[in-house]
Every structure is written in C-alpha cells, then in structure tokens.
A = this chain, B = another copy of it.
Amino acid sequence: MKKIMNEPNQMVDQMLDGLVKAYPDQLKRLEDTTVLVRKELSPDKVGIVSGGGSGHEPAHAGYIGEGMLDAAVSGEVFTSPTPDQVFEAIKAVDQGKGVLLVIKNYTGDVMNFEMAAEMAEDEGINVEYVTVNDDVAVEDSTHTTGRRGVAGTIFVHKIAGAAAASGASLSEVKELAARVIQHTRSIGAALYPAEVPGSGNPGFELGDNEIEVGIGIHGEPGMEKTDLPSADQLSEKLLDEVMPELELKQGDEVALMVNGMGATPLMELYILNNHLHDLLTNKGITVADTKVGNFMTALEMAGASITILKLDNELKTQLQAPSKTIAFTI
C-alpha cells in the first residue's frame, strides 16, 4: 500500500506537528509528549480527555475545542498510548473540578488509561472514566474483552463536552457520558482493508466482490464475509444489527451517524444515509440529528459504519449545543 509518509516510525510525531501547524490558535502540543491540548482552556470546568491509537483521524485530536475535548493522547498506529502520556494530559487540563477520561474499550487502552487515572489520583486530581463499547459486531475480540468502542465515541465526546462546558460537576458529566454509552450502538462494514504503515500486509483479505461485515477500526476480523450488497441492502443489514439492541419503537427520536472508514467517497455515505433515513422513518422513528462524514476512521479502509444514539431531551440538547473543533463544529 502506497502512503504519503517519511519513515513509518515518524508518522505520529509528524502528524501531531502537522496538526498544530495547521491549527495553531486551537491546539498546542505538550513538549516531549504525544498529547495535544486546547490552546486556551475554558476556565472552571471539568476537563475531558480522550485518545487511543493513531490511524483513526480526525479522532481524537479533531475533537479538541470548545464544547468537546480538552486534550487528546495519541499512541502509535492502532496502539494504545502509554499511561505516562495520559497522565500528562490529565495534569494539563485539570482546573480543580476534575477530569473525565473517555476510553474506547480495548484492553490496552483501558489498562493504560486506568493506570494514568491512578497516577493522577495519587497527585490529588479527581479523575473518573467511562468506557465506550458501542460496536454490536462481536463480544470479545483480538483486542477486547467485551464489545469494542468505535464511532459512537464521538457522541460521548460531544455530549460530555457540552455538559462540562455548561458547568456540570464531574459526577454529572460522567453520569451523562454513561447514559450516552448505554444508548449508543454501532456496526460497520468494509469493502477494502487498511494496512498498518510499514507492515506490508492488509488487516484482512477480501475478494473482488466481497465485503467484511462487523469490522473493527484496527483491521480486526468481523462477523462475516458476504457478497457486495447494494447500498440499500447494506443499510438494511446494518440497521437490522443495531435496532434490536436499542429496543427502538415508534415515536422514538435518534441521532444517526454515517461514518466513513477513511477511503470512502462522501457520495457513497450520502447514498447510505438516504435509505437509512427512509427505513427509520418508515418504522416511525424520528432522526433528529444526522452526521455524515469521516469521524472515526481506520486509515485507508473503505467502507462505513452506522451509529445510532437513542435520544432523550437532555441528550438531544447537549448533542445540539454549540461546539467548535476542527472536525465537529455546530
């Protein structure tokens, strides 16, 4: 796989510098770390920190800013950041009201973020965390115990961030983040795999007319391989996996995210969205908010995931509250 890069082991470092050079008014990098922090923190609020392996851009640095994250910690490609890096992020954003960590449910991430939380608690910083596990595809996997955290994480960033910006306490922000997680489910499918830079091998193999359903965001195996369906059939298949989990019924309101995995033309995502809206509407479910784009990617994987968040009034209000970040501005 051809890539625009210098040495594979320089990629994360050069990406982070490239991000700061692009958005110097919004981001700064903590010296000698892989932590990006808001240039100017909003005073007197709970800090929100997320992060994980690189290769999911714009996640997570793209969500740093007003009404979302205060810092994002980057590991190597598809590799958890180390506890000391997360600890630096926590210290940088704590303003006395405590810090919430938003962790995607992968064994390495959970272990390292928990360890960082303990290090921070030892220094007297109040830290809580939530673990996002929205992917309905597989219980346990090569990377996880339990379900994986994928694009639904962005809804957690948004809503927890809005609550923090409105002055909520750490326990209130955590409670709301946990409610988002409880009401969020995702599933994805890939048409083409991604390849870790320098590895020389794609994450999985697919035939010329084959897709992988239930993929993760690190090239993990999914649930099944099938023949390439039409866009409408794919919408139906993905929705059928997600709907029962949320016990959606007529009259419910949801937010929908149609997420590109990295190499998917926006045109295809809009076509997917077109039928998804019809399917939901025909079931009497109102789509109160839609996001279509590349929010949680897996390098150059082609394909899409859908995420549904079952809304209540508070979740809807905070989802639609203003935010100003590189990748998510309302």
Residues of A near any B CB (own CB < 8 A): 2-6, 11, 14-19, 21-23, 54-55, 57-58, 62, 191-192, 208-209, 211, 228, 230-232, 234, 258, 262-275, 277, 287, 290-292, 294, 297, 299-300, 302-304, 329
B22 and A231 contact, CB distance less than 8 A: no
A55 and B265 contact, CB distance less than 8 A: yes
Minimal Cβ-Cβ distance residue in B for A301? B265
Partner of A18, one of B192, B230, B277: B277
Q: Give chain B residues whose Cβ lies under 8 Å from the Cβ of A11.
A: 267, 271
7 residue pairs bridging A and B, Cβ less than 8 Å apart: A2-B302, A4-B268, A4-B304, A14-B274, A15-B270, A22-B273, A55-B267
Q: Give chain B residues whose Cβ lies under 8 Å from the Cβ of A287.
A: 21
Q: Give chain B residues whose Cβ lies under 8 Å from the Cβ of A228.
A: 2
Partner of A274, one of B18, B57, B290: B18
B6 and A230 contact, CB distance less than 8 A: yes
Docked CA distance A263–B265 (Å): 7
A3 and B230 contact, CB distance less than 8 A: no
Docked CA distance A272–B3 (Å): 11
Docked CA distance A208–B2 (Å): 7
A19 and B54 contact, CB distance less than 8 A: no
A15 and B211 contact, CB distance less than 8 A: no
Partner of A265, one of B57, B211, B277: B57
What is the count of identical protomers in the complex?
2
Q: Give chain B residues whose Cβ lies under 8 Å from the Cβ of A57.
A: 265-267, 270
B290 and A6 contact, CB distance less than 8 A: no
Q: Give chain B residues whose Cβ lies under 8 Å from the Cβ of A264.
A: 4, 263, 300
B55 and A18 contact, CB distance less than 8 A: no
Docked CA distance A249–B185 (Å): 53
Given A18-B274, A22-B290, 16 more A-B residue pairs with CB atoms under 8 Å apart are A2-B192, A2-B209, A4-B269, A4-B303, A5-B271, A11-B271, A14-B271, A14-B274, A18-B273, A22-B270, A22-B273, A262-B263, A263-B264, A265-B297, A266-B294, A294-B294
Q: Give chain B residues whose Cβ lies under 8 Å from the Cβ of A62.
A: 266
Smallest CB–CB gap between A327 and chain B, Å? 8
B191 and A3 contact, CB distance less than 8 A: yes
Smallest CB–CB gap between A92 and chain B, Å? 21
Rank and list the top 9 A-B pairs by shortest CB-CB distance, nearest first.
Answer: A18-B274, A18-B270, A263-B263, A57-B266, A4-B268, A21-B277, A22-B290, A18-B273, A2-B191
Docked CA distance A23–B14 (Å): 35
